[in-house]
Amino acid sequence: MEVRSADGGRPVPRDAAGSQIHSANLIHRDLKPGNILLSPSGARVIDFGIARALETTTMHTREGGIVGTPAFMSPEQALGHPLTPAADIYAWGGVILHAATGRTHRPVAVLLAALGSLVLLAAVVTTSLLLGPLRPGSGEDDPGAGGGDGGTLTATPSGTSTATPAGRPVTLADYRGRVAVEIADELRRRGLEVRTTTQQSGTTRRGLVLRTEPAAGDEVSPGGTVTLAVGDGSLPEAAGWRVFKRYAADSSINVSPIVVVDPTGNERLLGLGDNPVLSPDASRVAYTNADGEITSVRTDGTDSRQVSDEPNGSSDSPAFSPDGGTIAYARNIGGVYAVNADGSGNRRRLATVSDAYELAWSTSNQIVLRRGDDQSIYVLSVDDGNLRRLAGSPVPGAGAVEPAWSPDGGAVAFGVSTGGGIYLVNADGSGLRQAAGPGSWHPSWSPQGALVYVQDGSAARFFGANGTMRMMNPDGTGNRQLDGRLASGPVRWAMAP
């Protein structure tokens, strides 16, 4: 594909800039061809005049109309709903369509823009993107304009333009993985054998096609072979810090070795316990120690300290706040509490719920947890203490367990207590769907939005599952083994600044 320009084609801009924007907790809100500059060193995203931090309630309007460009605007942005990176992903899909065809794919919205914001809103929300012939090099927005016929466009890129954010790739890394799979599928459809190789790079992610053999543009006869070189385990998402427990046959399940793996792949034993979690900056690990209290220790094994002191050792399930300064935990005898991560000061009660387990804290200041009385997943607002039920197990006779927030706070992954299986649900409780089948346990997320889990086909219940770590895109594509290590609980992951 080529980006349309006055003097012919240019390479399609890559989406690395979008990943950097989102990793800084920003949403651009106006991605379009005019805001992407091409330079000798690559594409540059410009015009951050309406970019904003990730929000939960802010309406995205201004006096006189909607903020953004109608032809590339997501429905939720037009409606003034809270935005996530999925809004930029929607716009990016429109940019790719424009690059492939040389025209705008929502002409109705463009034509109605002058008629007022209400008419424009209706156009954005109710009209889908216009597909059709590929006409590279076109300089017009007329669907009939353009150069030679380059084929027919029958679908938008990798699910980017679905009407709801839940149906789109969670992150641009997820989008890249989908594109790699679609490229391979299309090559196979054309009668070519597809082989994949890995190529190490400190700046690429698995699923991103780095090069092809033969080179892109060369003709390949049906029955020939195309080799796709993609990023491998040296990618940033595999180079962060990870912590997990590893069941030892001579120890209790809830007093297992706590293992931390550094970015170079070296691992260290931090202690014995259960439910380890990483601080967002990967500087510390918190876990339930053998005495039933919360221990906080640096990832290099130094400065180990107990930060809770509850009657009869009743502390469990620690979770770091988004800024890493606070640790929340559940008391087995009742309540969810918080304490400073360094152990200073007095603990404070966040909720009176008496049967909370497996806490996880989101960037939107909400804690997701499992309640023991009905084995369902609940969300606790740290700001006001409100507790709401999010989802129950879709498997009869099994409980919903081990919830984990996606990095952007838009979805929760959870497992089932019997038989295995990983499910996803949107943060508002909608869109419950299965991500991995029986024998998959202990869900978590990579910082870039890949779904991580443990595979153990022989385990009957979640607390005994012990197997290899795997990761995949949230839509089920790109499933691969992370490394050869075994884990018997969720793999918590963070990137050092």
Q: How far apart are alpha carbons 21 and 237 in whole angstroms? A: 16
Query: CATH 3.30.10.20 region(s) of the chain?
Result: 170-231
In the chain, residues under CATH classification 1.10.510.10 are 20-54+69-115
pLDDT digits (tens, 9 = 90+) for 103-129: 665 544 444 444 444 444 554 455 554
Q: What CATH architecture does domain 20-54+69-115 belong to?
A: Orthogonal Bundle (1.10)
Per-residue pLDDT tens digits for 254-265: 789 999 999 888
CATH 2.120.10.30 domain residues, the chain: 237-494
Helix (H, G, I), strand (E, B) or coil at 406: coil
Q: Do residues 324 and 341 lie in contact, with contact meaning Cβ atoms separated by under 8 Å?
A: yes
Q: Which residue has the tokens 């540059």?
A: 44
Read off φ and ψ for residue 465, nearest 5 degrees.
-75, 130
**170-231 CATH fold:** Trypsin Inhibitor V; Chain A (3.30.10)
Strands 284-289 and 326-331: unpaired
CA dist 427 and 442 (Å) reads 19
H or E stretch at 179: helix 172-189
pTM of the model: 0.57
Both tokens of residue 8?
Answer: 């012919």
Among the four given CATH numbers 3.90.700.10, 3.40.50.300, 3.60.15.10, 2.120.10.30, the one describing domain 237-494: 2.120.10.30
pLDDT tens-digit profile, the chain (497 residues): 222 333 333 333 344 455 555 555 567 778 888 877 765 555 667 665 555 544 444 443 343 345 677 777 887 887 777 777 788 888 877 787 777 666 665 544 444 444 444 444 554 455 554 444 444 444 444 444 444 444 544 445 556 667 777 667 766 656 666 666 666 667 667 766 655 444 333 333 334 444 455 555 555 555 555 555 544 333 445 568 999 999 866 556 578 999 999 988 899 999 999 999 999 999 999 999 999 999 999 999 999 999 998 877 789 999 999 999 999 999 877 899 999 998 888 999 999 998 999 999 998 999 999 999 899 999 999 999 999 999 999 999 999 999 999 988 899 999 999 999 999 999 999 999 999 999 999 999 998 888 999 999 888 888 788 899 999 888 888 888 888 899 999 999 997 65
Question: What percent of the chain clears pLDDT 70, i.e. is strictly above it?
Answer: 60
Nearest 5°: the CA angle 277, 280, 282 is: 75
